[in-house]
Amino acid sequence: MLSGDAPYDGGMTSAPSTPPSSVARAAWLGPVLRAVPAAISGLIITFTANHSPTLGLVMLGVFGLGSALVLAVSSVPLGAGEPLRSLQLGLAIIAGVAGAVALAVVTLMGAGLAMLLLVLGGYAVVAGGLELVWGIRHRGRCPFARDAMVIGAATLALAIVLALVGDSVSAVGFFGAYAVMLAIFLLIAGLSLKWSTPMKESTAS
């Protein structure tokens, strides 16, 4: 009996399905901090009357570089093997590149509708695709997976909308609306992840 029980108990304890308590407590920081640059860029666009390509690219720069910073910082406590860390670092790279390119376009080339749609649409396709695929792959294993699928699908929807619009007013307006809704969703997702963590830990023990 003892020899039969040992492999079973060892298999249960070695399964990485339940993260350490410190990792679980830190996981909610990423979505909450990520909501800040989204809210800033979305609100500035909302309360600015002139939805020019310049405004769109500058706000994409603020959104991208701000998101890259908070995602990189909030991924530090998660640990090397945590799945959420890989998502946050991947999104940080994509957002940082998109933000830097957007500001470089404004500074060096001058803003135009074509460049706005290219840079913003490219970001939406790559970031949305990464987050959606990650959420599908980690569904049932990570508490943020379902939220990641929703955000990824919404970001891909932004790319589709941008492919259909033909003026900067609509493109920048849709980007602002997306950023505001993203900020609200991320804030709710992060706080709900924080509040559900003690419950999941007590259930696991």
Quick count: other Cβ atoms within 10 Å of Cβ 44?
16
- 17-71 tens-digit pLDDT: 434 445 555 677 888 999 999 999 999 999 999 999 999 999 999 999 999 999 9
Query: What domains appear along the chain, each with residue ranges and CATH number?
Result: 26-195 (1.25.40)
Give the pLDDT confidence score for residue 38 in this predicted structure: 97
Chain centroid to CA 168: how far? Answer: 24
Q: What is the 3-state secondary structure (H, E, C) of the chain?
A: CHHHHHHHHHHHHHCCCCCCHHHHHHCCHHHHHHHHHHHHHHHHHHCCCCCCHHHHHHHHHHHHHHHHHHHHHHHHHHCCCCHHHHHHHHHHHHHHHHHHHHHHHHHHHCCCHHHHHHHHHHHHHHHHHHHHHHHHHCCCCCCCHHHHHHHHHHHHHHHHHHHHCCCHHHHHHHHHHHHHHHHHHHHHHHHHHHHHHHHHHHHHC
Q: Are 61 and 71 in contact (CB under 8 A)?
A: no
pLDDT tens sequence for the chain (205 residues): 444 454 544 444 444 443 444 555 567 788 899 999 999 999 999 999 999 999 999 999 999 999 999 999 988 887 777 788 889 999 999 999 999 999 999 999 877 899 999 999 999 999 999 999 999 998 877 778 899 999 999 999 999 999 999 899 999 999 999 999 999 999 998 888 777 754 444 444 4
Distance CA 158, CA 170 (A): 12
Model-wide pTM > 0.85: no
Distance CA 115, CA 92 (A): 21
Distance CA 49, CA 127 (A): 28
- 41-52 tens-digit pLDDT: 999 999 999 999
Give the pLDDT confidence score for residue 77 in this predicted structure: 80
